[in-house]
Amino acid sequence: MKIRLENVVKEFQTFRAVHGVSLDIESGELVALLGPSGSGKTTILRMVAGLEYADGGAIYFGEENATDIPVRERGVGFVFQHYALFPHMTVGENIAFGMKVSKVKRTPREIAARVTELLDLVQLGGLKDRFPGQISGGQRQRVALARALAVDPRVLLLDEPFGALDANVRRDLRRWLRKIHDELGITTLFVTHDQEEALDLADRVVILNKGKIVQEGTPEAVCRNPADAFVMNFLGDANRLDADIRGGKAYVDDIAFEADGVADGSGQILFRPADVTWREDGQGISAKIVRVIDRPDSRRVLAMTGSGQAVEFDTAPEFPHRKGEAGFIDIRRPRVYASA
């Protein structure tokens, strides 16, 4: 099922508003809505589900305008952030609930068979008669997914699906969810504030800030070509140096960088800590090492440029230089943006 959002608007007195978002999600695609808290990503997800009404714009499921279809008839599978499992029902009863209340009548035998099938799918075969309070967070998450899938939804929506889990459980579940998605081929939209999660899991990433889409594209596209300083910062650690932009060049301490198409005036150069080479002489911005921090697989260096701006970069563990030494910072893949 293809989903299309057309200029969707949602006003709140507080944050979490959405200001005109348009988005196409292809059938069978796995898309991440990525943004900091309050960026409106969960509101968008809830509007797609019908748990929130849009104040303007339209939402299409395929060719059908779904904007005013009530949540119960919309046919979405929704996995809540804290799973919202019914605590007084067993795992099996939770999964069966949607089928029991459905207008499509199923015999108890059919329901039981489907529950078993779903439990196998989410690899929880033995837990059918446990209560949600008796299983682990990762298991609850999978029950929530099975429950959502039980009603054969047209679209699967997940709100921060891994937010409440430990880091290693999270990684396993991520890969596993991707596998399930590939098996079922269901159109899936999920919300996350964790860029690693979005990049790891999604076919396409939609980055939001303050209720607007700031960039969308494949993980490769957004990583290699961040649209602005916000995206660059949000996707990972970045150094920022103030620069003067004059005639397609950006100057930092008299060192020039390519800045094609960036308007003259003040601007900034952003670059990843891994994209720096320390040189004892020659090219680069002059700097002094302030501190060296050891890490299991690398060495992080804190330095100060001649004009007093802080820079952090990663080097091999064998990096020989020490605090107080002077040298030059050579930047690969710098990105230049005009100041907002």
Partner 1 sequence: MADHGKGRPPRVGDNKVFRRVLLTVVLLLVALMIVAPLVVIAVEAFSRGIGYFAKSIADPDTRHAILLTVVTALIAVPFNTAFGVAAAWAITKHDFPGKRLLTVVIEIPFSVSPIVAGVSYLFVYGLQGLFGHALQAADIKILFALPGIVLASMFVTGPFVARELIPLMQAQGRDLEEAATSLGASGWRTFFSVTLPNIKWALLYGVVLCNSRVMGEFGAVSVVSGNIRGQTNTLPLHIELLYHDYNAAGAFAAASILACLAIVTLVAKVALERRGAGRVQRPSALAGADSITPEVKP
Partner 2 sequence: MRRRVLPGLPLALGITLVYVGIIVVLPLAALVFKAASLGPEDYWRIVSSDRALASYRVTLLCALAATAFNLVFGLSLAWVLVRYRFPGRRLVDALVDLPFALPTAVAGIALTTLFATNGWFGGPLSHLGIKVAYTPLGIIVAMSFTSIPFIVRTVQPVLEELDPALEEAGQTLGASDLSIFASVMLPLLAPALLAGVSLSFARSLGEFGAIIFIAGNQPFSTEITALLAFIRLEEYDYPASAAIASVMLLTAFVMLALTNLMQARALRYTVKG
Enumerate binding residues for partner 2 (CB under 8 A): 49-51, 71-74, 76-78, 80-82, 84-89, 97-98, 101-103, 130-134, 147-148, 150-151
Quick one: which of 26, 55, 73, 182 contacts partner 1 (CB under 8 A)? 55
d(CA 35, CA 39): 6
Out of 34, 48, 52, 149, point to the residue binding partner 1 (CB under 8 A): 52
Is position 129 an interface residue for partner 1 (rule: CB under 8 A)? no
When the beta carbons of 24 and 93 are compared against partner 1, the nearer one is 93
Closer residue to partner 2 (CB): 97 or 176? 97
Q: Does 50 bind partner 1 (CB under 8 A)?
A: yes
Considering the rule CB under 8 A, would residue 37 count as an interface residue with partner 1? no
| CA–CA distances in Å: residue 198 to residues 34, 193, 300 | 7, 8, 26
CB of 56 to partner 1, least distance (A): 11
Q: Is 140 left (phi over 0), alpha (psi -120 to 50) or beta?
A: alpha
Member of 134, 218, 277, 283 binding partner 1 (CB under 8 A):
134
Q: Give yes or no for residue 147 binding partner 1 (CB under 8 A).
A: no
Query: Does residue 126 interact with partner 1 by CB under 8 A?
Result: no
Q: Which stretch binds partner 1 (CB under 8 A): 53-61, 142-150, 186-194, 331-339?
A: 53-61
Asked if residue 70 binds partner 1 (CB under 8 A), the reply is yes
Which partner in partner 1, partner 2, none is near 55 (CB below 5 to 8 A by kind)?
partner 1
Question: Which of the listed partners (partner 2, partner 1, none) does 13 bind, with a CB threshold of 5 to 8 Å by partner kind?
Answer: partner 1
Interacting partner of 52 out of partner 2, partner 1, none (Cβ under 5 to 8 A depending on kind): partner 1
Selected from 35, 38, 40, 138, the binder of partner 1 by CB under 8 A is: 138
Beta-bridge partner residues of 215: 207
CA distances from 34 to 60, 253, 292 (A): 21, 35, 33
* Smallest separation, CB 54 to partner 2 (Å): 17
Residue with structure tokens 């837990």?
Answer: 127
In angstroms, give the least distance from the CB of 101 to partner 2: 4
Q: Which does 16 bind (CB under 5 to 8 A by kind): partner 2, partner 1, none?
A: partner 1
Binding mask 2-21 for partner 1 (x = CB under 8 A): --------xxxxx-x-----
Residue 97's binding partner out of partner 2, partner 1, none, with CB under 5 to 8 Å set by partner kind: partner 2
Among the candidate windows 135-143, 241-249, 262-270, 289-297, which touches partner 1 by CB under 8 A? 135-143
Q: 217-241 burial string, b = 16+ CB within 10 Å, else e?
A: eebeebbeebbbbbbbebbeebbbb
Binding-site ranges for partner 1 (CB under 8 A) = 10-14, 16, 50-55, 70-71, 87, 133-139, 169
